[in-house]
């Protein structure tokens, strides 16, 4: 056989094969319908440490990577003015303390008892003088003098009684205000010692010693070092498909070629108007050994799954409901779950049925 004849035969064979429709068989395998989401890793309980007061940073007691305990002082602010105010409030509290002013009340009560006795005595004398004036033993003028004395005694007693009530109210108010002002000054001084709200680790420090900070100034970022969550953004068109507990397939740029399982743990009820997305949180089922905050990720949230589905490649599906059998006949089918490559056949085909893509397509 000549060389030229062999070349002609190969060309003829290739040319003939180009007219044979591509075919495939219906296969049985697992398929998932998923919703795509992107996002990042965040430490559980992660938060920004902020100051509630203004001041200069006197001392930073932490370093990045340090393990810290809840209540530990992590940043100290200079606060000379606050200490002076606290001392003044303490002196005022002690001066206004109700127990320290008992003598004032005791003294006024003594005067009140004396006035009461005088009023009682003058009232008795007035009753006696009334009998005497009726029997013309004393004059009307003398009786009126005794009457005025009795009325004066009563007025003095009434006045002292009101003074005692006012003094007790005023001292009680001063006591409460003194304690309140001291507690407030003490709290402000404590605010200059910024403490950790959790047990965790220091991820980053955002300020240096000597810098001025204002209320709500971020000083550091702290969070848990062994418990991480997924922060995912889901499009508004897909949010109604998401349910708590759904499986999440996670891919991390830091772990190329690996897929990690997680579950939906929280669904935000509020849409970001700028991005038209909702924030979804997830918890790892099998957490990677090493993670860091803000690692980027891509995820697929499984909303439907069929472990034994009859599948065909999506390119073999025509007009959403039709396929072509190997004999060239057109057949209507019922579809189910779809992913990027395959479509589930719920009715119309059996396993190992062979279908084709016609030449004209």
| pLDDT tens by residue, 111-164 | 878 878 888 887 887 787 777 767 777 777 877 777 788 788 888 888 888 887
Q: What is the mean pLDDT of residues 99-109?
A: 72
Q: Is residue 287 part of a domain?
A: yes
- Do residues 181 and 249 both lie within one domain? no
pLDDT at 295: 93
- pLDDT of residue 186 exceeding 70, the answer is no
Domain finish residue from 261, 284, 305: 305
Average pLDDT, the chain: 81
Confidence tier at 94 by pLDDT (50, 70, 90): low
What is the value of pTM for the model shown? 0.57
Q: Which residue has the higher pLDDT, 9 or 63?
A: 63
Confidence tier at 7 by pLDDT (50, 70, 90): very low
Confidence tier at 4 by pLDDT (50, 70, 90): very low
Q: What is the mean pLDDT of residues 315-324?
A: 87
- Give the SS3 label for residue 93: helix
Q: What is the mean pLDDT of residues 15-29?
A: 68
Q: From the CB of residue 237, how many other CB atoms can be counted at a distance below 10 Å?
A: 9
CATH of the domain at 67: 2.40.50.100
Confidence tier at 275 by pLDDT (50, 70, 90): very high
- pLDDT of residue 306 exceeding 90, the answer is no
Q: Which residue has the higher pLDDT, 114 or 299?
A: 299
- Do residues 104 and 204 both lie within one domain? no
- Do residues 170 and 92 both lie within one domain? yes
- Do residues 198 and 73 both lie within one domain? yes
- Do residues 67 and 214 both lie within one domain? yes
Q: Is residue 294 part of a domain?
A: yes
Contacts of 355 (CB under 8 A, 6+ apart): 23, 24, 25, 26, 312, 316, 323, 324, 325, 326, 349
Q: What is the DSSP letter of 61?
A: -
pLDDT at 41: 94
pLDDT at 177: 74
Q: Among candidates 230, 238, 310, 296, which has minimal Cα distance to 262?
A: 230
Q: Which two tokens stand for residue 355?
A: 């279908």
Residue 129, burial from CB neighbour count under 10 angstroms (0-12, 13-18, 19+) = buried
- pLDDT of residue 285 exceeding 90, the answer is yes
Q: Is residue 13 part of a domain?
A: no
- Do residues 148 and 228 both lie within one domain? no
CA 127 to CA 143: how far, in whole Å?
10
Q: What percent of the chain has pLDDT over 70?
A: 83
Containing domain of residue 87, as a range?
81-191
Q: What is the mean pLDDT of residues 225-254?
A: 93
Q: What is the mean pLDDT of residues 72-82?
A: 76
- pLDDT of residue 274 exceeding 50, the answer is yes
- pLDDT of residue 194 exceeding 80, the answer is yes
- pLDDT of residue 90 exceeding 70, the answer is no
* Span 331-360, pLDDT tens digits: 898 988 887 788 888 898 888 888 888 665
């Amino acid at each position: 056989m000549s060389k030229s004849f062999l070349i002609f035969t190969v060309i003829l064979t290739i040319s003939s094969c180009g007219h044979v429709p591509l075919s495939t068989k219906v296969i049985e395998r697992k398929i998932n319908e998923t919703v795509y989401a992107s996002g990042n890793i965040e430490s559980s309980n992660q938060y920004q440490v902020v100051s509630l007061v203004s001041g200069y940073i006197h001392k930073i007691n932490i370093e990045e990577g340090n393990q810290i305990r809840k209540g530990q002082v992590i940043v100290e602010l200079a606060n000379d003015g606050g200490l002076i105010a606290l001392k003044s409030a303490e002196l005022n509290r002690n001066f206004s303390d109700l127990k320290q002013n008992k003598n004032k009340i005791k003294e006024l009560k003594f005067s009140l008892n004396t006035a009461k006795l005088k009023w009682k005595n003058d009232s008795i004398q007035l009753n006696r003088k009334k009998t005497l004036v009726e029997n013309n033993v004393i004059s009307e003028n003398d009786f009126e003098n005794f009457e005025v004395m009795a009325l004066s005694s009563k007025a003095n007693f009434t006045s002292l009684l009101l003074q005692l009530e006012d003094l007790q109210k005023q001292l009680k108010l001063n006591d409460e205000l003194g304690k309140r002002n001291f507690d407030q000054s003490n709290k402000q001084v404590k605010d200059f010692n910024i403490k950790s709200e959790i047990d965790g680790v220091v991820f980053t420090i955002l300020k240096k010693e000597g810098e001025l900070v204002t209320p709500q100034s971020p000083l550091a970022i702290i969070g848990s070092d062994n418990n991480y969550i997924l922060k995912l953004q889901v499009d508004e068109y897909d949010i109604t498909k998401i349910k708590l507990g759904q499986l999440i397939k996670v891919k991390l740029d830091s772990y190329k070629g690996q897929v990690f399982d997680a579950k939906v743990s929280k669904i935000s009820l509020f849409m970001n108007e700028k991005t038209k997305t909702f924030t979804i949180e997830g918890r790892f089922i099998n957490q990677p050994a090493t993670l860091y905050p803000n690692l980027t990720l891509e995820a697929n949230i499984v909303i439907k799954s069929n472990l034994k589905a009859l599948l065909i490649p999506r390119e073999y599906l025509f007009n959403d409901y039709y396929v072509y059998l190997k004999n060239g006949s057109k057949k209507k089918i019922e579809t189910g779950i779809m992913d990027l490559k395959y479509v589930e056949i719920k009715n119309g085909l059996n396993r190992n049925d062979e279908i084709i893509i016609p030449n004209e397509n």
